[in-house]
Every structure is written in C-alpha cells, then in structure tokens.
C-alpha cells in the first residue's frame, strides 16, 4: 500500500490554522526563518520518497462561478476569467492563473501517512499560479486566519511539491500552463483580500511573518527550492483586470 511521508513541517504546523490569533502571534514571535528553513529542507528530503503519477485532481472539475469575493473560489473565478493579474508597483510579481485547491499528496488509492494518520488530513493550498516559475498561493479573506497560518500552510504544501518526482507530476498535469522547468524553484505568495487593518493582533502577526520570510530566503537550505516569498493585497478586480499591490517581497 502507498504510504505518504509525514514531514517535519506537517508535525509542526498541522494544527496552526485551528489555533487562535494570539497563539499565532506567540508562535510567530518564537520562530526564526533559519529554523523554519531547515525544517522545510528536511521535509523536502523526507517527502522525496513519495512517487505517484496520478493527477492532483481529475481533468474536468466543476466550473467556477462569480461572487462577491467572500470566498477563495470567487477570487479564483475572477483570476480564471481575467487570465492574468498585474502588480503595477512591482511588475515582476505579476502572474497567470492555473488552478485552485491543489493537494500535493493527493491519491485516489487507499493510503495512510507514515505516522498512521488518514489521508483526510491532506494539506492543500488555495491557488496554483504561474510566472516564469510555478507559484503556490494562499488566500486570506477579511478575518480568515492570519499571515502566519498562510505561510505555514504554504511551506508545508511546498515541501510536498518541490521534490523531483512531484515536479514531474506537476508538469504532467499542468505543463501546457506552466513555464518550461529550467528553474526547479517555486515562489510562495500570501494573498490578502480586505485584510483587516483594524485588527491590531493580525497586523502584528503580519509584521512577524514578514520578518520570518526575510530570514527564510536568506537560509541556504531553501535556495534549491524557493525563489521568492511575497505578500500581495488585492487592489482592483473585475472580469477584465485584476491588480494587486505588494506588502513585501523577498528573494533568495
């Protein structure tokens, strides 16, 4: 039976999203980018034994429908219709839409994680985007969780997607919408919609997350896998144009 490696980051961040914001702030203040970077590299090594060429999702999925941006699917719908999004203040951060709710470890077989946990605990990320490298993005809408939770989820998912076998699997399913894989790295984007600037604790968490991101990209252990960590705020969106403004961006 296929077994899914349970990584260091899975163990460290599995329950973060369910914790209160005050606990996110405590965890963020206690985290160093270097320590997170080494845990990420260790998780990639742990996941490198996973080989599975099944699709992340069936080729045909229910169509997205427009909405009032109260849900991630509504933003995905806008991005899908527009095709691409721009960041006027930092054009290099612009991207194209590829897919939504991607589950790196997804399999349709009966499996367990290596620690005995069921596959119902799959980690996923909100949006698969593309520029000159694939982009994994996590969306936070209004009061939905925190920047620290978003970064934790992205890193955990990325560790399950950047191994050689998983990259081949990624291009097998999305190769016509992704750049040619000359660069084996990925970008990570935190995407905010109506970020609650009135929430003092979430702004504090954002600042700590920014610090972690800046330290993370300076960690040599992550450089073979991560190119950039950025945070963007939705600035303008309609069926023809989607624009963001940058909160921060750091590159390895």
Which residue bears the tokens 């949006």? 127
Contact 150, 190 (CB under 8 A): yes
Please give the radius of gyration of the chain, using alpha carbons only, rounded to the nearest integer.
17
Position 241 scores a pLDDT of 87
Helix H or strand E segment including 189: strand 186-193
**What integer pLDDT is reported at residue 233 of this predicted model?**
95
Is 57:122 a contact under the CB 8 Å cutoff?
Answer: no
Is residue 198 over pLDDT 70? no
pLDDT tops 70 at residue 119: no
CA 166 to centroid of chain Cα atoms: 15
Mean local confidence (pLDDT), 139-162 = 92
72: nearest Cα among 133, 137, 25: 137
Q: Are 251 and 214 in contact (CB under 8 A)?
A: no
Q: What are phi and psi of 223, to 5 degrees?
A: -60, -30
pLDDT of residue 209: 97
For the stretch 23-75, pLDDT in tens is 999 999 999 999 999 999 999 999 999 999 998 887 677 888 888 888 899 99
Could you tell me the residue range of the domain that residue 232 belongs to?
3-57+64-251
Confidence of residue 181 (pLDDT cuts 50, 70, 90): confident
Mean of the pLDDT values across residues 227-248?
Answer: 92
How many domains is the chain partitioned into structurally?
Answer: 1
């Amino acid at each position: 039976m296929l077994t899914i490696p349970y990584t260091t980051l899975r163990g460290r961040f599995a329950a973060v999203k369910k914790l209160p914001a005050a606990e996110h702030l405590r965890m963020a203040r206690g985290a160093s980018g270097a320590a997170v970077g080494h845990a990420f590299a260790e998780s990639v090594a742990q996941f490198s034994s996973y080989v599975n060429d099944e699709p992340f999702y069936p080729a045909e999925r229910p169509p997205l429908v427009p909405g009032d941006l109260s849900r991630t699917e509504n933003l995905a719908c806008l991005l899908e219709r527009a095709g691409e999004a721009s960041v006027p203040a930092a054009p290099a951060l612009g991207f194209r839409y590829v897919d939504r709710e991607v589950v790196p470890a997804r399999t349709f077989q009966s499996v367990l994680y290596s620690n005995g946990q069921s596959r119902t605990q799959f980690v996923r990320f909100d949006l698969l985007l593309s520029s000159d490298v694939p982009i994994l993005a996590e969306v936070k809408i209004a009061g939905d969780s925190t920047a620290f939770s978003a970064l934790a989820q992205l890193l955990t998912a990325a560790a399950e997607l950047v191994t050689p076998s998983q990259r081949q699997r990624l291009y097998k399913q999305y190769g016509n919408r992704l750049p040619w894989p000359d660069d084996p790295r990925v970008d990570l984007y935190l995407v905010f919609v109506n970020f609650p600037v009135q929430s003092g604790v979430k702004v504090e968490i954002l600042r700590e997350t920014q610090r972690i991101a800046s330290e993370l990209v300076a960690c040599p252990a992550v450089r073979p896998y991560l190119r950039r960590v950025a945070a963007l705020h939705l600035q303008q969106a309609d069926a023809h144009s989607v624009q963001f403004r940058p909160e921060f961006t750091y590159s390895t």
